[in-house]
Structure 1
Amino acid sequence: MLKNPFLDVEFVPDLMWFIGQFDVYDREETKGAELAVYNPDDECDREKLIVKYGLDLKCLSYRHKFVLVRFLGEKLDDPNFDFQSLFEIGEDCAGSWPRGEWYNLQNPKGFLQDVYVNAKKVWKKDLEKAALEDPSTW
């Protein structure tokens, strides 16, 4: 069983691994200011955001990355999956996005499609390594 990198429990894939990197709650003056120069609806800015911040998951092994990319691919293929809900932060939640655009992205599914494309490029060696293994042995 693949374990969570922080807890002694099974790893459950979640798309928040990709977009949680952009939560700036209690870091608005530092990380928030750094991320606020980017517009998540702009294709060039979005690629920079994804590669520099969204895929910078050093705590994850090649196996975790493989599971996450496969999970994201499944969600992208699901016509009923609500991608906008990933970017909604309730009033009772401790979280905030760097700019107003994040709360109502023009194309939240497109954002995650770009994550998928870039993850397959950036993590290519890790994904190939994991693909050679039998996931049932993890």
Structure 2
Amino acid sequence: MFIDVGDGQPFAPTPSCFLAGVDIYDREETLGVELEKLDPNDPGDRELIILKYCLPSKRTYRHKFMIFKCLKEALDNVEYDFQVLFEYDPEACSSFPYRWDEMQSARVFFEDVYRLASVEWKDDIEKASLEDQLDW
């Protein structure tokens, strides 16, 4: 089991890990204003959102590999509900730009995340895939 050196806890990623950069909670007047100019339903805007906000990460290559792998598993599951990841939860310290919970297809959003991550994170994913994950 991979232990996150940041908090000493087992690292159990979900596809929502890709959304940290678009979480506007307590940043509504800065990041929120910036993101509301972009439409996640428009392919060009969506690519910009993913490249600029979803993929930049200070995570290690192992973290990236595990996040990428968990997204692949979710995409392979036709029953996986990506839309729920964007739903507003008043109990959570998390929120997304106005109307993102009405995205036409959250699955398409994450398919694009996967496609772009496979390019942007290629070296990190390859490096981690060559290691024995049981040793992590």
TM-score (norm 2): 0.94
C-alpha deviation, 1:32, in angstroms: 0.8
Give the counterpart letter for 2:30 in structure 1.
T
> For residue 29 of structure 2, what is the aligned residue in structure 1?
29
> For residue 136 of structure 1, what is the aligned residue in structure 2?
134
> For residue 88 of structure 1, what is the aligned residue in structure 2?
87
| In structure 1, distance between residues paired with 2:124 and 2:93 | 33
| In structure 2, distance between residues paired with 1:63 and 1:94 | 26
Higher deviation after alignment, 91-100 or 61-70: 91-100
1:99-121 residue CA offsets vs partner (Å, 9 max, x unmatched): 31x11110000000000000000
Aligned length: 136
| In structure 1, distance between residues paired with 2:84 and 2:42 | 20
| In structure 1, distance between residues paired with 2:112 and 2:106 | 10
Question: Which secondary structure state, in structure 2, belongs to the residue aligned with residue 96 of structure 1?
Answer: coil
C-alpha deviation, 1:5, in angstroms: 4.6
Percent of residue pairs bearing the same amino acid type: 43
| In structure 2, distance between residues paired with 1:92 and 1:2 | 29
1:13-62 residue CA offsets vs partner (Å, 9 max, x unmatched): 1112101221111111111112111111110000010011101111x110
Runs of 4+ residues over 6 Å off in structure 1? none
Question: Which secondary structure state, in structure 2, belongs to the residue aligned with residue 39 of structure 1?
Answer: coil
Counterpart check, 1:111 vs 2:106 = no
> For residue 71 of structure 1, what is the aligned residue in structure 2?
70
Question: Which secondary structure state, in structure 2, belongs to the residue aligned with residue 69 of structure 1?
Answer: helix
| In structure 1, distance between residues paired with 2:31 and 2:5 | 23
| In structure 2, distance between residues paired with 1:84 and 1:34 | 22
> For residue 19 of structure 1, what is the aligned residue in structure 2?
19
C-alpha deviation, 1:70, in angstroms: 0.9
**RMSD of Structure 2 on Structure 1 (CA):** 1.2
> For residue 53 of structure 2, what is the aligned residue in structure 1?
53
TM-score (norm 1): 0.93
> For residue 99 of structure 1, what is the aligned residue in structure 2?
98
Whether the 8 Å contact between 1:4 and 1:12 is mirrored in structure 2 is no
1:111-137 residue CA offsets vs partner (Å, 9 max, x unmatched): 000000000000011111111111111
> For residue 42 of structure 2, what is the aligned residue in structure 1?
42
